[in-house]
Amino acid sequence: MREHRLKQKLQQGEVVLGPFINCAYPAFIEICGHAGFDFAVIDMEHGALNTLVAEDLCRAADCVGLAPIIRISKNDAPQIQRALDIGSAGVQVPQIETQADAADVVHGAKYSPLGSRGLSFYTRAGVYGADGTQITDRLNQESLIVVHVEGRRGVENIEEIVSVPHIDVIFLGPYDLSQSLGIPGQVRDPRVIDLMQKCVTSIRNAGKAAGTFADNPETAKQWIDAGVQYVGLGVDVGIFLKACQALVHAVRS
């Protein structure tokens, strides 16, 4: 497997960009690498992807130097382990609301002594046994842990969540946050933006990277200016839709 620099870039204060991937066709994720993205979030929460497909998407990402991150459907140790065992560069876990939730993610993602991730050398992450006994220390160091804070309760507990060791990115989900505030989909509402900005300050003060989603360059730049480093920039199906709409409009207008 290719060694990715995503975690090092974040530790050095760089901004990284990556789309969410819902499509099973490996060429889509290869194209994202050729386009210059740093990572891609293989979406097993809202997408229709299964583990075998996700593993092949990780292979395709490795071919072009793109760091594959798996977003699982819930905070569940077996799901976390499977996402990492198939050779992803990290795992992204939704709906984190408390310090205990965040600690559970670390517990499931890290091998002993940092956690209790189940150990098998015969996985893609372990190069099918070729890596020997070095697998635990190496993967504990390299794997990226991203947790989603995307509801009112998580925002209220942000100071406790950011205090949990070994979490690399706190990802602020604007859409679910807007829903928890009773204004679903209104991600540019001042109430959503204000809470997110306060969270970014807390995250950065704790020495961690802040992340969020943006569906256009203008929004992405605004959050980067506010201190966000890890930007989920669009979704593959939405990017394709907008490109098709622009083509049709250009011909018919």
pLDDT of residue 4: 82
pLDDT of residue 130: 84
pLDDT digits (tens, 9 = 90+) for 37-61: 999 999 999 989 999 999 999 999 9
Ordered domains of the chain (ranges, CATH) = 6-252 (3.20.20.60)
**pLDDT over threshold 70, residue 132:** no
Q: What is the mean pLDDT of residues 69-85?
A: 97
Q: What is the mean pLDDT of residues 94-122?
A: 96
**pLDDT over threshold 80, residue 134:** no
pLDDT of residue 129: 87
Mean pLDDT of the chain: 95
Q: What is the mean pLDDT of residues 21-33?
A: 96
**pLDDT over threshold 70, residue 92:** yes
pLDDT digits (tens, 9 = 90+) for 191-229: 999 999 999 999 999 999 999 999 999 999 999 999 999
**pLDDT over threshold 60, residue 1:** no
This prediction has a pTM of 0.95
What per-residue string of b and e applies to 56-77 under the rule 16 or more CB within 10 Å gives b? bbbbbbbebebbbbbbbeebeb
pLDDT of residue 2: 65
